[in-house]
Homo-oligomer: A and B are copies of this chain.
Amino acid sequence: MGSNDRLFEVSRRAMLSAFAAFTAFPMLLHTPAMAQTAVTDPLPSWNDTVTKKAIVTFVERVAKQGSPDLVPSAERIATFDNDGTLWAEQPMYFQLAFALDRVKALAPLHPEWKDNEPFASLLKGDLKAALGGGEAAIFQIVTVTHSGMTTVEFDQIVRDWIATARHPVTGRLYTEMVYQPMLELLAYLRGNGFKTFIVSGGGIDFMRVFADRIYGIPPEQIVGSSGKLSFELRDGKPVLMKLPELNFIDDKAGKPVGIQMHIGRRPIAAFGNSDGDLQMLEWAKGGAGVRFALIVHHTDAEREWAYDRTSSIGRLDKALDTAEAMGWTVVDMKNDWKEIFPFGSK
């Protein structure tokens, strides 16, 4: 992991925001006040720009009865990246925040961590030094926090954490840090016969805990990175143990592979925000018939974050060039989105 400057620049603003309490989960019931005048608009949080028009045109072409480009409903597969596409990913991937919190919670059981990196630095509060070990350090942190327990135990650990852990900048629950326009888009697609999937580099078992509740996407429609599992009998009862061994990384060229493994159909629409999504979008666009690829470009430093080509998180460089060259749809968050989060903005 390169420089963490951005991480710290943003982290300094932690807890500076004080929003009114927001307890209900956003889901799809939320209607921003600004949008209430357009009751028949399925995408009220989208400004009337070419981006919104491109989405609506695509959906009507493939889903409207009588369209010459009609696609059977069963083949209306749409795949979405998660971090930075459906919810925020700054100042760090939320799953990494989970892992760091878990290291602290588990520390009393691991006195040896005081003498071993990256744990020693992490427990001293020096995140920069802890993550200075790069991918190997992160792998160690993920391993000790994501293995050695059953799938049921892990599910409960994530459930407990995500019910209370709060975003360092906004003070919101992580599950509130979802993009209102994307929630509307998910609902709009499903209302037009699409089946929506998450295809993320994030952990498959991590996302499954909350994706149904916050996005309406059930566990069986989540594709993600994973560790190996082992079926065992523990006290005579069957369990699935999470092993400290990598199974699959669902990122970059892994995304089309993950899609084939899990879905077995090529999506006709794919949505991402970084170079990690490039191959998924290429795969979706490479099929016959009408296809749609969309990139969320983070251009709004005021209401969300602004980052792209040089960001260590959610780097968008080659995929942005490809999008421009190929005419894919690019969301200019600042100008295309009327609302950012269900509670407003950062």
Contacts and interface: CB of A to CB of B under 8 A. Distances in A.
The interface centre, meaning the residue of A204, A205, A253, A264 with most chain B CB atoms within 10 A of its CB, is: A264
Nearest to A197: B220
A283 B231 contact: yes
A92 interface: no
A341 to B, nearest CB: 27
A262 interface: yes
Interface residues of A, number: 35
A219 B151 contact: no
A261 B219 contact: no
Contacts of A110: none
B253 A231 contact: yes
A264 B231 contact: no
Contacts of A279: 231, 238
Interface string A253-295: 1101100111111000000000000010011001000000000
Contacts of A230: 253, 257
Contact of A204 (B208, B212, B229, B261): B261
A18 interface: no
Contact of A256 (B77, B219, B226, B240): B240
B219 A265 contact: yes
Interface of A: 74, 77, 151, 195, 204-205, 208, 212, 218-222, 226, 229-231, 237-238, 240, 247, 253-254, 256-257, 260-265, 279, 282-283, 286
30 contacts: A74-B212, A74-B218, A77-B220, A195-B220, A204-B261, A204-B264, A205-B260, A219-B264, A220-B221, A220-B263, A226-B261, A229-B260, A229-B261, A230-B257, A231-B254, A231-B256, A231-B279, A231-B283, A237-B286, A238-B256, A238-B279, A238-B282, A238-B283, A238-B286, A240-B256, A240-B257, A240-B260, A240-B283, A247-B261, A262-B262
Given A205-B260, A219-B265, A231-B283, 7 more contacts: A195-B220, A220-B265, A230-B253, A238-B282, A238-B283, A238-B286, A240-B260
